[in-house]
Every structure is written in C-alpha cells, then in structure tokens.
Amino acid sequence: MSGFSAEVFQNEFLPAGAETVDAVVTVRSSVEVVAAAPAEQLEMLVIDTSGSMLEERGAKMHNARLATQAAIDSLRDGVYFAVVGGAGSAYMIYPERDLAVADQTTRGQAKTAVARAQASGGTAIGSWLEAAAYLASLRPDAIGHAILLTDGKNQHETDRQLDAAIRKCVGVFQCDARGLGADWEVDELRRIASALLGTVDIIPRPEDMAAEFTLLTQQAMGKQIGSVGLRLWTPKGSTVEFVKQVAPTLEDITAKAAAVNPLTDDYPLGAWGGDEERDYHLRIRIPTGNVGEERLGARVMLVVDGQDQPAALVRAIWTDDERLSTRINREVAHYTGQAELAAAIADGLAARDAGDGATATVRLGRAVQIAHEAGNEETVKLLQKVVEVDDPATGTVRLRRQVEKTDEMALDVRSTRTVRVKKG
Amino acid sequence: MTAITCPNCGEPAPAGAKWCEACGADLDLTPAVACVDCGALDISADGYCMACGRKQPNERDHVEVQSVGPVSEKQPAGVAAAVTDRGVRHHENEDAVAVAGLSNGSAVLVVCDGVSSTPGSAEASSRAAEAACELLVDRCSELSGGEASARTVGLETVAGWLTEAAAVAQAEAAAAPEVKATRPNAQGGPPSSTFVAALGLASGLSDGASGSGAPAEGEMAIVAAWLGDSRAYWLPAAGPGQAELLTVDHEIGGSLSRWLGADAPTGPVDVVSKSVTGPGWLLVCSDGLWRYANSPTEMWQLVERVDSSHLAGEWPDQLAARSARALHLAKGLVAHAVEAGGHDNISAALWPAISTTAAGNQRGESDDSITEQSTQTQPTQAQPTQAQSGGT
C-alpha cells in the first residue's frame, strides 16, 4: 500500500567462524501522489543578510534576492512558508510573524519584502536555525524543509550554541545548506545538513544561486511522504557496526538509531518523493554459526506513516565452499569503494592543508584511481582542479600549485556524492 | 463437534477455530515450537528464530517415505522406501525423492538432484520426481492384477514408460519458475535437476508384448532411465562381486552433460534394463551418497555394514515390516553419508527385490495382516508417495 520496497544485495555465504555480514539495501518509493489531498508542506528560506553579503559590489545580495524570489515562485499554492533573514540574529523578512500560506498574493508580497531586504550585521547561524525551529513548530504535522544560505563562518556565536540549535531542529525539519563563495566553513554546514537529513554544497558564483534555489525548492515540493524510517531487527548478541546511506550521497546514520525494543532500532530516512531510490550499506556483527547453518543478520523493515512493513532479509549462511564465501558482492564492494573514495579525498585535502605534500599526493592519487574505476566522472573533474592526473588507472598524480579555494571546497563538499553501481 | 471456550473472553467457539469471533483472540493452540539453537519459543512465519535469528529446519531438510503397493489375491505388494537429507555442508535440500510400491512386488523409485548453482532447483527437482513417479504408477497400473499378466509386459513397452517419465520430469522441471539469482555462484540459469527413475519388476520381462520368450521362473527385472549423475545400483545378496552400477554418469570434465530444465540439452534418454535374480536391493541415489561409496563393491559393502541381515537372506515376510527394513537401510545409508561429511544433499531410494515365486509360498496366511498394513500406509491405489516430513 505504501508503495515502498527494499531489496537486499549481499553475499550471504560466510566462511566458517565469520561474524560480519555486509549488505546493501536499496529502498525505493513509487507512490501515486494524490493531487487532491497533498501532504501539508512547510518551506523556510533562511537567507544570510550579514554585512559580508554586500561584497562583490552588491552582487551577492542582489543574487540572493533573485534566488529567494525564484524559490518563492516555485512554491505550490497552499504550502506554508516564511523567509527568514540571518545576521547576528534572525529576523522575519516575510511574513511579519509566523507563517504565510502560498498563493499569488502572498508570493507577490514575499518577493516585495525580499527585494527590500538589506545586508548588515554579523553571522550567528544557530540563531537562524532556532528561528526556523520555532516556525516549524507552528505546523508540527507538515513536511518541514529549509534552505539555509550563508556566505561566511559562524562568527558571532560559539560552536556549542550552534550544536545546541541544531539539536532543537533534529526531527523538526530537514535542511539543505548552501555556502556562497569561499569564506564559509564546509564542516559547519556539513554538520547542519547531516543532522537535518539534508545536503550541503557550494555555490561558487552569486549568479548560480537562483538556479540552485529553484532546484532545491522544486525537490522539496516533491517530498510527499513526511517521514520514512528504516527499521532493523538484528539477532540477540549482535552489533550494528554501521548503517550508512551510500547513494545518492554518503551519510553515516548509525548514530541516529532510536531503539524500538532491545533487538530493533529505527533509523530516520527523512522525507521522500514519490519516485526515489536510495542505497544503504549495513554492516552487522552476529554470533557465528556452524557450517551449513543459516542465521538472519537483519530483518529490514520500512516504517512509513508510522506503519511498519516487512521489506527484506539480510542472511548469513556459513559454508566451507570457498567458491561461495570468497565471492565479493558487487554492490557492497562498490559502496565500500565509494566510502574509501570520500575518505581518501578528506585525508588528501587535510594533508595538503597541513603541508604534507607526500601524503596528499598518495591519498588524492588513490581517490583519482577509485573515482576513475567506479565511473565517478564528476569527482574526477573536481579532483583534476586540485591535482594534475598523469595516469588515472594507477592513481599517479601531482599536486597543483595554484588551486582556487572554491575548487578545493567543491571537492571537499562533494566528496560524499556517490555514483550507483554500473548495471550490466 | 465439540465447542471450545475462548480463554480471553469466555465466548464459545467451534472446535478448530483459528481465532475467536467475539474478541478476535488467537485460538490456534498449536504448541509453540522452540528454536533449535537458543530454545526461544518465538519462531517467525518465515522460519527464523525471532531471538537469535537461526533459520529453523526446513521440512525438506530430512524426508523419509515408505510405500506399500496394493495387495491382490494373487500376488504380494511391492514395497519401497526412500530418505533424503540436506546433509551438512549445503544449507538447503534440493534433492527430491518419490517412491511407490506397486502390485506384484514391484516398485517405482525416483531421485532428482536439484542443481545448487541454479536457483529454484529445489522446486524443479520435487516437481520432476513426483511427476515421473506418478506417470510410472499410471503406466504400471495394468500390472495390478486383472487381465494383463506382468509376464506379458515387454521390454520395449517398459523402456517406453521410462522415456515418457523422463519427458514429464523434463516438462515439470522446465516449468519450475525461475528464481532471481542471489547466490554469488549462481550462473543465473533456469532451475535444473538430475534425474533417475527405476522400475523394479518382481516378475521379469518378456522380449515382446506377446508373451513369447517369457522370463524364467524367479527372474526379475530392473529398467532405469537417467539424466545426469544420479545413479542406480543393483546390489544382490549373492555377493559384492555381483553388484553392479546400472547407470553411466552424464558428466564431462566435472560438469553435467545431461540434466532436466528449461536449458537442458535434448536428445534420446538413456534407458538400461537388466534381468536380475534376487534377493537383493535396487538402490537409486544422488551423488551425495555415492561420493562416499563409488564402486558397486563399495556400495554393496556399505549396505552390508549398515544392515547385513537382508544380504544374508533374512527378509521379513510381512510387507510393512519389509518396508520398514527398507526404510531402515535407506536411513542408515544417508546417515553414513552425513557422518562422512555430508558435503552434498543425500538421497537413497530402495526396492527389495524378492521374486514373487520366492515370496509366494507365505502369501496365503498373511494376506489379512498385509491388507491391514497397506491400508494404513497407502489408503488408495498405488499413488506416488508424497514426501512426508520429519523422522519416524
């Protein structure tokens, strides 16, 4: 009924004594969205209006206004929305207080208000998030989403304040975070997006903002299923080593587990569109069995609208047939490689920042090699802006001396984008 | 019908009701089954322990069947028994057996060994074995007394039945639904299985349907057809030197060259026939057994080790007892293969070959008890025995 399904990819055959079960679970939605009774949705546009937005002869602020107006134009009638200005504290750009309901009139009023927004003051992102959390609390049943734009670091509050604010937003709304230019912190926005089940990306040039905001708003409008959960039953004596979303982006959600009972945990998968596919890599340690025995590694269920439905089984069968146990499952191997790719990029960039050219060359070379093999063409292109590639097959690279800061940030922030297994 | 009372709300409910119509409480009083591993009483519908995750034994993991044919005034019934077991190393039993005792001391034995590298083969093998057995029982129905005498059945006719049995087995195996390959070694091919069917005829064969060239008194016959590496052995009481492997494995370089299934090679089916003088055993088995006793001599010796009494000529008179002894031997052979490592699924099907003339002298006095026994075991006319789960 719910239109959700899950499929498991694994090599269920384990050598004698093995305790670790790996599986990739593909979760699919295929839901007929009923136009007559759409889910209640809430869109919050949280726009940096700090003083730094005046830079580039006003181009940043000008384009931020255009982008916000484009996002407003993408709101469907009936959607609750608000535009929040962010500086040393948050303030309402539109409506004056609380939320508006999108229609022709409110969209027009909102765009006018946005056109008048002025940039000044500092950057305290936590306060912006708290404002959004308050607004979202007004429509607790709505599918809440925010676009958060900043061009700078979180300078006017502490890290602890930011983290406390993020915690208030978890489970209240989802947030896609975007950094404009090169003066913001990848880690700060990544922390926000990871916790709030959203994405993080760089917008290198102000003129690219409108297209990005339009896209993000359209995607948010497509999320018709508010909260989906991955429910994992694992046997007594087992440990869930990790649960990672591995496509479309890499996101470790292990720590998001909420216990249902001693053997069952729920992992929030956020809001879903009617036609989506995401992959998850599970690794579970279970008590070993004798050769010829079978044990469940996990029972995978999906929780949609509070209803759980059985979805798929992760199995473990112990065998002494090496032809079986040594086979590597393609999906598991692929996403293990994608995780290594992200780690190699992170390591390489960190070593490069620390002035350790040798380590940076080795790790970024390895990243080029994996990306090349797996067909991550976008990632190869991003890597090429940071390293000269002599031979992608062997990962032979040289560090570039002159690297644009935004190119380095783009590589960093997009290192968690994965490609799916090549079929056939 | 006695009514029961709902333990939850006290309303009466008809006996056998699954739930209470008044309050909806579960009335299914089937005792909870304990997990074979941790003992938890919580087994899911799909067969896993809800505490430790252990897969519970499948009903096909170990199957024992016995069959006693219909009893006529003239001749004693044939008996047959078979055992199939998952073994140790495979996690699923894809072998299937089907046996049927016929009238006149004869029997049908079928073993199909589902190919583990093609998913869905367990269904292919069971469908094939049952269909082949059913067909042979139908074709042999003219042996069950009446006008046609067993002695008039010609070799060509019986060989034709075996070829037909192979064809229905092929049709059934080819119709088994393809299962998505999840195993890493699966070649992704359609379900497939080996095949061996044997007809043990207690009164021999004539050269033709006319009855001319009738077999000698006390002579019996075995006719078998096969595809793949499942085998038929003749193991006479006369001694290991007389033991014989009747089939020739269809195997080239470690791979099957013939099998059942949608992608099976076509061509004539090999049929072998042999006149035998009993007593002795006809054994039909899968490679899970013969890998531990390959040559006819080794197999004879294995039978002797498991139960030497029959080879020594000690055959029980009563049919039920004879059937039980056949089952006992089949269990012993399978147990030997399990103890030897159980690297594959193991199946053994047996027919005690005792000539009707040899058995004839004790027929009269035991007829009543025979009828009783066979009614219990085989209430209808010789139908192929459906696989029964569990031990005895």
On whether the A331-414 domain is CATH 1.20.120.1690, my answer is: yes
Q: Find tokens 């292919």 and name the residue.
A: B124
> Which residue in B46, B52, B184 is closest to A13 by CB distance?
B184
Task: Give this complex's ipTM.
Answer: 0.80
pLDDT band at A1 (very low <50, low <70, confident <90, very high): very low
- State the Cα–Cα distance between residues A214 and A210, nearest whole angstrom: 6
Taking the alpha carbons at both ends of chain A, their separation in whole angstroms is 31
Domain covering B62-377, topology: Phosphatase 2c; domain 1 (3.60.40)
> With DSSP H G I counted as helix, E B as strand and the rest as coil, what are the percentages for chain B, rounded to 5?
30, 25, 45
- Better-scored residue on pLDDT, B190 or B18: B190
Phi/psi at A63 (5° precision): -75, -30
The mean of the pLDDT values for chain B is: 81
Chain A residues with at least one Cβ partner in B under 8 Å: 10-13, 233-238, 263, 286-287, 289, 291-297, 299, 313, 315, 317, 319-321, 323-324, 327-329
Please name the helix (run of DSSP H) or strand (run of DSSP E) that holds residue A258, with its range, or none.
strand A258-261
> Which residue in B50, B91, B183 is closest to A294 by CB distance?
B91
Predicted local confidence at residue B386, as pLDDT: 42
pLDDT digits (tens, 9 = 90+) for B223-278: 999 999 999 999 999 899 999 999 999 999 889 999 999 999 999 999 999 999 87
Candidates B48, B49, B117: best to mutate against A (most CBs of A within 10 A) is B48
CATH 1.20.120.1690 in chain A, residue ranges: 331-414
Predicted local confidence at residue B189, as pLDDT: 82
Spacing of C-alpha A145 from chain mean position: 13
Q: Is the pLDDT of residue B369 over 60?
A: no
A293/B87 CB distance under 8 A: no
Closest by CA position to A150, among listed A187, A115, A113: A187
Domain covering A41-221, topology: Rossmann fold (3.40.50)
A292/B90 CB distance under 8 A: yes
Predicted local confidence at residue B27, as pLDDT: 67
Lowest mean pLDDT of A81-90, A267-276, B126-135, B209-218, name the range: B209-218
pLDDT mean over A193-198: 95
Out of 3.30.450.20, 3.40.1380.10, 2.60.40.3670, 3.40.50.1970, select the CATH number for domain A4-33+226-326.
2.60.40.3670
Q: Compare all CA atoms of chain B with the CA of A12 and give the residue at the minimum distance.
A: B183
Predicted local confidence at residue A131, as pLDDT: 98
Q: Compare all CA atoms of chain B with the CA of A291 and give the residue at the minimum distance.
A: B89
B53/A234 CB distance under 8 A: yes
Chain B residues with at least one Cβ partner in A under 8 Å: 37-38, 46, 48-55, 86-91, 182-185, 342
Out of A107-111, B138-142, B152-156, give the one with best mean pLDDT. A107-111
B185/A324 CB distance under 8 A: yes
pLDDT band at B152 (very low <50, low <70, confident <90, very high): low
CATH 2.60.40.3670 in chain A, residue ranges: 4-33+226-326
Minimal Cα–Cα distance from A292 to chain B, Å? 5
Measure the CA angle with vertex A34, ends A29 and A39; round to 5°: 80
pLDDT digits (tens, 9 = 90+) for A143-186: 999 999 999 999 999 999 999 999 999 999 999 999 999 999 99
Lowest mean pLDDT of A35-39, B304-308, B367-371, name the range: B367-371
- Which chain A residues are within 8 Å of B182, Cβ to Cβ? 10, 12
pLDDT band at B76 (very low <50, low <70, confident <90, very high): confident
Task: Report the C-alpha dihedral over residues A369, A372, A375, A378, rounded to 10 degrees.
Answer: 110
Minimal Cα–Cα distance from B32 to chain A, Å? 19
Phi/psi at A315 (5° precision): -115, 160
A165 contacts A130 by C-beta, under 8 angstroms:
yes
- Better-scored residue on pLDDT, A20 or B102: A20
Predicted local confidence at residue B214, as pLDDT: 56
B184/A291 CB distance under 8 A: no
Q: Compare all CA atoms of chain A with the CA of B92 and give the residue at the minimum distance.
A: A292
pLDDT digits (tens, 9 = 90+) for B4-61: 777 677 777 777 677 777 777 766 655 568 898 899 988 998 889 999 999 998 889 9
Q: Is the pLDDT of residue B319 over 90?
A: no
> Which residue in A235, A320, A324 is closest to B52 by CB distance?
A235
pLDDT mean over B371-385: 35
pLDDT band at B381 (very low <50, low <70, confident <90, very high): very low
Q: Which residues pair with B273 in a beta bridge?
A: B223
Q: How far is CA A109 from CA A73, A370, B211, in A?
A: 11, 50, 106
Measure the CA angle with vertex A138, ends A134 and A144; round to 5°: 80
pLDDT band at A234 (very low <50, low <70, confident <90, very high): very high
- Which chain B residues are within 8 Å of A286, Cβ to Cβ? 53
A286/B91 CB distance under 8 A: no
The mean of the pLDDT values for chain A is: 94
- Better-scored residue on pLDDT, A256 or B219: A256
pTM for this prediction: 0.76
pLDDT mean over B362-381: 34
User: Hey, what amino acid is at A410?
Assistant: A
Predicted local confidence at residue A39, as pLDDT: 83
What are the residue ranges spanned by the domains of chain B? 62-377
Predicted local confidence at residue B339, as pLDDT: 93
Size of interface A-B (CB pairs under 8 A): 69
